[in-house]
Structure 1
Amino acid sequence: MKHTSLFILVSLLATGTSAPVFALSNERLNGQLMKLDPETRLEQTCDTEVMDQINRERSRFNVDKVIAYTFKDPVIKANLMEAPGAALRSNGRWYRLSFRCQTGPRHLDAHQLDYTLGAEIPRAEWPAHYLYD
C-alpha cells in the first residue's frame, strides 16, 4: 500500500473555511482526489471523513491529522478500508484509532464509517511510529 500524507487535504482545509468538509460536497477536494489512484483516493477520503466525524461528535477533539497505517497496515478491499492500527492527532497529542470505512465506487464519500478511539500515545513512543508535533 502506498503511504501518503494528507498534504492535498490539509492544503484544501487550510484555505480559511471553517465549515466541515465532506468529500462528496467539496468540488475542489473532489477534483484533487480524482487525480489520485483509486486506492490512495479511498485512503484519503476515509482519513478525511473520520477526522471530520470525530471533530463533529467529540467537542474536546480538534483532529488535524489521521494516519491509517501507524501501528498496522490498513486492509483495502474494493470500496472498503479497515484501519485497525491508525492514529490521530488532536491538540498536539496523538491517540490510537481504529476505523472501518466504506465508500462509493469513486471513493469520494463515506457511505458507512465506524471508529473507535483509543488511548493517548505517550510522547516517548512517537519516534518509533514516526509521529510528530
Structure 2
Amino acid sequence: MRLKIAFPAAVAVAHAFFTSAFAFDARTAKGLLRLDPNMRLEQVCDLAAMERIGKESAEFHPDRAKSDVITPPNHLGNILKADGAAFRSGRKWRRFSFTCRATEDHMKVIAFDYSIGELIPESKWDDYGLWR
C-alpha cells in the first residue's frame, strides 16, 4: 500500500476546489501560492482535468482527479506529464493520462491534453490510496 503525506495547505486548497464547484477565487489563489511549485502545478492540473473531462464528456462527471495514483507524474518545468493518473466519476475511479502546461507561476493551465483509460477495480483502490 502506498502512503502519501498530506500537507495542510494542499488539503485546504483541494477542499476549496472541490467544495466550490471548481471556483478559482482569491482564497483558493492564496492557498495555491502557499504550496511549493510542484504541488501547485499538480493541484492546478488536477482541477483542469476535472473541468475538461466534465465539459467534454456526457458520460463522465468527475468530482476528484489525482495525477499521482498509479505512478508519480513527471515535472518538466511548467509541464506536468501524468501517465498514472485517475479521476472519480459516479463513485468509480478510472485511469487516465494527461499532459498539462501551466503558466510560469503554475497558477493557470494554458494547455491540457488527456486520454481516458479503463476502470480501476475496487479491489485495487486501497493499493492506490483511493476512496469511495
Pick the TM interval, shorter chain. Answer: 0.7 to 0.9
Q: Does 1:11 align with 2:16?
A: yes
Q: CA deviation at 1:13?
A: 3.6
Query: Counterparts in 2 of 1:80-119, with a 5 A limit?
Result: 80-119=79-118
Q: Name segments (4+ residues, structure 1) moved above 6 Å.
A: none
When residues 116 and 30 of structure 1 are mapped into structure 2, their CA distance, relative to the original with a 3 A threshold, is: same
Contact residue 16 and residue 28 of structure 2 kept, 8 A: no
Fraction of identical pairs, as percent: 30
Q: Show CA shifts across 1:14-63 (max 9, x none).
A: 14xx5x54x5xx33321211111111111110111111111111122121
C-alpha separation in 1, matches of 2:49 and 2:82: 11
Q: What is the Cα-based RMSD across aligned positions, in Å?
A: 2.0
- The one-letter amino acid of 1:77's match is L
CA distance in 2, matches of 1:4, 1:96: 22
For 2:17 and 2:27, the matched residues in 1 are separated by 8
Q: Which residue number in structure 2 is paired with residue 75 of structure 1?
A: 74
- The C-alpha deviation readout for 1:63-110, integer Å capped at 9, x for no partner, is 111111111110001101000000111110000010000000111111
Instruction: Give the TM-score normalised by structure 1.
Output: 0.84
* Rounded Cα–Cα distance in structure 1 between residues aligned with 2:6 and 2:112: 20
Distance in structure 2 (CA, Å) of the matches to 1:84 and 1:35: 26
TM-score, structure 2 normalization: 0.85
Q: Residues of 2 paired with 1:108 and 1:4: CA distance? A: 20
